[in-house]
Structures are given as C-alpha cells and as structure tokens.
Amino acid sequence: MRPLRVILTLFVVLLVVFSARSAKAGVCWGYDTFDSEDCTGAHGCFGSRAPTYCSFGCISGTCNNQGNSTECCGTSHYIAQITPDGDSCDAEECTGGSGVFRTHASVSHVNSEHSAERRQGYSPGLIMLSANMSYKPARLIYVFNRCSHSFKLIVEDGRLLTTGGL
Amino acid sequence: MLRHLVGTLLFGFLLVSLASGQATPGLPQGGNKAKSAQANNKQENLHLTRVQTVTVPSVLISTFVPPFRCDSDGNIYLQNDRLSPAIQKFNSKGEAGALFQPAPNTDKKLDYGGNCAIGPGEDLYELVYPHEMYQYVFAYKSDGTFKSAIKLNLGFRWSAHSLAVFPSGQLLISGFEYDKDPAAATWPFTGIFAADGSLLKEIKLEDDDTLRDMAASGDSRASSPTVPNVNRAVSFSQIGVAADGNAYLMRWTNPAIIYAISPGGEVVRRLKVDPGDASYGPGTMQIFQNRIAVLFIERNTYNKIMKVVDLEDHEIATYDELKASGKVTGGMLTGAFTCYTENPTRFVFLGADDAQKLQFVTTEPR
C-alpha cells in the first residue's frame, strides 16, 4: 500500500509541475496600440494620444493595462506596462524578432485627417452631447493574434470629454 | 509490480479526470435535457466543432467590434469602422451584397455609427450620430436603399447604445441618461420609440438602480476604475427580437440578465443565464425564433461557454470549445458570435486566417 501512495504522490507532483510550466510558458505579452484619440482641455488645448493595451507578444512576464500612464491636455490616461521576468517565449514568431510586435499600429495620416475634421466642426468617433461635451463610446474589441492564432477580448471603456463649462 | 504501476496510473488518470471536472465548474453542463441525455446514454459533452469555414479574401481584418448581426437568410452584416459607419452585407458564401451607407444620404457631418438591427422585411436600422445633439436611426431597405432618418427626439442629454426593431416598426433602444454632474454615474435609459422617433414609453427595468449604484460605487462588475461614470453593464447591452414578438434586452452581467419586453413596453419576464463560473463575462447574445444563445468568455484564458435557453429561461444546452489536453483544437473561435440557427444547431463566428482574411466559421455541437 505504501509504494502505491509514493507513486501516486509522485504522479500528482509531476502533474502539478507540468501544469505550472505550461501556464508559465503561455504568459508572453506585447502591446496593442489603437488609432490615436483626440483629447481636449483648458485654454483650447487640443492633442492626441494612442491607447495602449496588453496584448499577445514575445515578452515573458506580467502585463498591467494600467501599469503606466501618459498625459494629454492635463489629463492622465493609463497605458499598459509589461514587467519582464527574464524567461523566453518559444513561439516561432518570437524567436527572431525584436521582442515586441504590434498587431494594430496607429495610422498617422488618418489621425491627422481626423484632427483636421474636428477643427472643421465635427468630431469623428465621439458622440456629441452638448456644445462642449462629447462621449467616447465604450467598445468590446476582439483582437486577432497572429502569434497564437487566437483572439483576445479588450474592454475599452467609454468616457466623457468636456471642452469647457457646461 | 507492473500490475501495481498500471493500476496506479489508471487511478491517477481517474483522479485527474475528476479534478478537471471540479476545476471548471459548470463546464460543459449540457443543460437539463442534455444532462438527462448524458445520464441515460453516457454521451460525451458536446463541443462547438468547426464544420465549415468560408474565407472572404477581399476583406482584411484583425479586430472585430460588435454589433454582430445576421438575418433569417443567413446573411452577415459587417460594420468594422465606426468612423465611416457603412455596413456591408455578405451572403453565407462570403459574397458581398448590399452596402448600407448613411453618409451619402444626409447632408449632416457624421461623428459615429452605432448599433444596428434587422427589422421587418430584413430592413436594416442603424444608430447614427451626426455632429449635433440629436441622435438618429437610419433605416434602409434590404437592398441598401435608404428609407428614412428617424430623429430620436428626447429633451435631455443621453446616448443610445443598443437597438431592436419590433415587427410593428417600433424601436426599443437602451442607453444612458447623463447626470447634471458629468462626473456622476450615468442613468440607464430604456425606451420604446415610434417609427417617427417620438418616445412612446420609458421603461424602468428591475435592475437599473442596482446597476447604477454598482457603477457609482466603482464596482468592477459594472464600471471601470478609471471611468466610474460609464456603466459597462449598460454600454454593452444587446437586444434581439424573438418569435413571440417580444424584444429581449441583455445586460452585460454575469449571470446575464435578460428582460423580455413587449411592444407595449411591458416587462413580461426577467431571465438569468448563468455560465456557472464567475470568471466568465457575457460576449454576444443571438436569438433564433424561441431560443436564446449567449456566448460567455473567460477573460484570462478566453475559454468560451455557449449557453442556450428558451424564452421561459429553461436551459436547453451548454457547449464549450473542442479541446485536447486543455488546448483548443481546430483553431480557437473568436468572440465574434454572429449567427445562431436551429435544425441543425449552428453557430457562426467571424474570424480571420493567418493572412488576416475575413472568415465565417460555422460550428455545430458535436
């Protein structure tokens, strides 16, 4: 009976170790940067920022969607931050690259076009609520990952944008 | 000794099998009918298995953003750029059909294109946001011909987010009403609108106050810690119309709360579709006649559960993805659940191949 317990214990231990290794090997991160968004602020400030999220990639470690921040027209916005753990990512796409890839890079000429359109009196991507208040709608985004041939879900929260008093 | 070793391994596998079942509560349960079928016939659990993939080479795509819509003929409607809010119809073979474009049919400058719905006669209705304080529903015939711009005439600051069309042509719209204080949590708003856009009835839903309070208190189930005034549970609501003529409005909650709302604005039922695991969130709801299918997605693993209930909230079935050794086989399904039909049971998802060409992936439970 005792050898049975020993073998069973070894079996369970091996299973735990194997499971842990499998889980660790799967945590490889990159950044997804979406088309830039306009931001406005006091004294006629008008700028743009590029929302950045954790995505699939080739850096082993942890990623926090609010691990870093950027400022636009005096308002802070969270952006993603990867904390590497030093391990490697063994996907084929990760073995010869720079370590970070972007699946949805922002398109600068489109952004410039949108900025110009906004100055001409409308605001693509925003729902107008009043003369000085707009709403950037929340979105669920399913992002294709070429590395793992899979998809991830990004919850992009909506927010109100004001350009002065109400 | 060898017999002991073989016996031990078998026992170990039995333990692992049992442990797997316990580690994923509610997965896959097979519903009441499926459960009894399993008990009687000892059937394996059913998985969403790819039976057909149609590639659309003319469309390159890497992100999918709801709404995901199809009509009774299996045509799929794709709206992937909210800034240029045209909607393209494809047949089930992937051939492009009618194009629904608001911009050529108005002299207004358009800021955004929102949710859309299929109405009577397969006409298409789309929420459209011009650069003004009124929001509109643009109606098109099934061939893409523009019918009308319906102005949603409310006297307060609000935004419409989800839309359905009753057989009568009346609209059910869910969205937010904004507080006087822009920093305060928004108020859920649901209304029945006449075909001319006038508000016929505002509907107070049972959980509106609770959802609003959750967002106001920063509860992560309803709001974002960075944007507490915007309510995810309401933002991502979805509506469809079933064969009983009622609209079914699903809040983005776990369990998914679904209200059956009559064309007269009465809440006739409140359903709760529970994935059986708190780590899952609702993805997309699709309705076929008297069945509702809700796709739930686990945020970290992207595992999926498809739950099917009838209009009385009786569980019909639960399916998951086909896996081997814990990994999805045959290509992971996206969350872009677009079409649901019965006889046979089929679920269509949007997807993409390695070259990012759009795909329609048809699955069946097997």
pLDDT score, position A163: 58
Which amino acid makes up residue B348? V
- Residue range B285-300, pLDDT digits in tens: 999 999 999 999 987 7
* pTM of the predicted model over 0.80: no
Per the domain annotation, does A84 fall within a domain?
yes
> Which residues does chain B have within 8 Å of residue A143's beta carbon, measured at their own beta carbons?
62-63
The segments of chain A whose pLDDT lies below 50 read 1, 9-26, 92-93, 96-119, 164-166
More confident residue, B306 or A78: B306
- Asked whether the predicted pLDDT for residue B9 surpasses 60, the reply is no
- Give domain status of residue A4, yes or no: no
Query: Looking at chain B from residue 171 to 230, which residues have their Cβ under 8 Å from any Cβ of chain A?
Result: 178, 182, 224-227, 229-230
* A45 is a domain residue: yes
For residue A152, being part of any structural domain is answered with yes
Give the per-residue pLDDT at B26.
Answer: 28
Give the pLDDT score at B81.
65
- Can you give the pLDDT at residue A16? 36
Q: Is the pLDDT of residue B77 over 60?
A: yes
Distance from CA of B227 to the nearest CA of A (A): 6
Domain that holds residue A112: 36-162
Structural domain contains residue A63: yes
The answer to whether residue B249 scores a pLDDT higher than 90 is yes
Condensed to tens digits (0 to 9), the pLDDT of residues B12-25 reads 333 333 333 333 22
Q: What is the pLDDT of residues A11-29, one digit of tens each?
A: 444 433 333 333 333 466 7
- Give the C-alpha separation, B323 to B49, whole Å: 10
In a domain, A14, yes or no: no
Residue A95: its pLDDT value, please?
Answer: 52
pLDDT of residue B245: 97
Is 70 exceeded by the pLDDT of residue B172?
A: yes
Instruction: Read off φ and ψ for residue B273, nearest 5 degrees.
Output: -105, 115
Q: What φ, ψ does residue A163 adopt, rounded to 5°? A: -120, 20
Closest approach of chain B CAs to the CA of A74, in angstroms?
Answer: 15
A18 is a domain residue = no
Q: Residue B74: pLDDT band by 50, 70, 90 thresholds?
A: very high
Domain annotation covers residue A7: no
The predicted pLDDT at position A153 comes to: 80
Best probe of the B interface among A65, A157, A162, A163, by most B CBs < 10 A, is A157
Q: What is the pLDDT of residues B87-121, one digit of tens each?
A: 999 999 999 999 999 999 999 989 889 999 999 99
pLDDT for B20: 35
What pLDDT digit, counting tens, does each position of B116-158 carry?
Answer: 999 999 999 999 999 888 999 999 999 999 999 999 988 888 9
B42 pLDDT tier (thresholds 50, 70, 90):
very low
**B41: closest CA of chain A, how far (Å):** 31
Interface of B with A in 43-62 (CB under 8 A): 61-62
- Please report which confidence band the pLDDT of residue B35 belongs to, taking 50, 70 and 90 as the band edges: very low
Mean pLDDT computed over every residue of chain A = 62
pLDDT exceeds cutoff 70 at B261: yes
Residue-level pLDDT at B29? 35
Check if the beta carbon of residue B301 is closer than 8 Å to that of residue B321.
no
Cβ of B299 and A153 within 8 Å? yes
The number of folded domains in chain A is 1
A chain contacts of residue B110, beta-carbon cutoff 8 Å: 122, 124
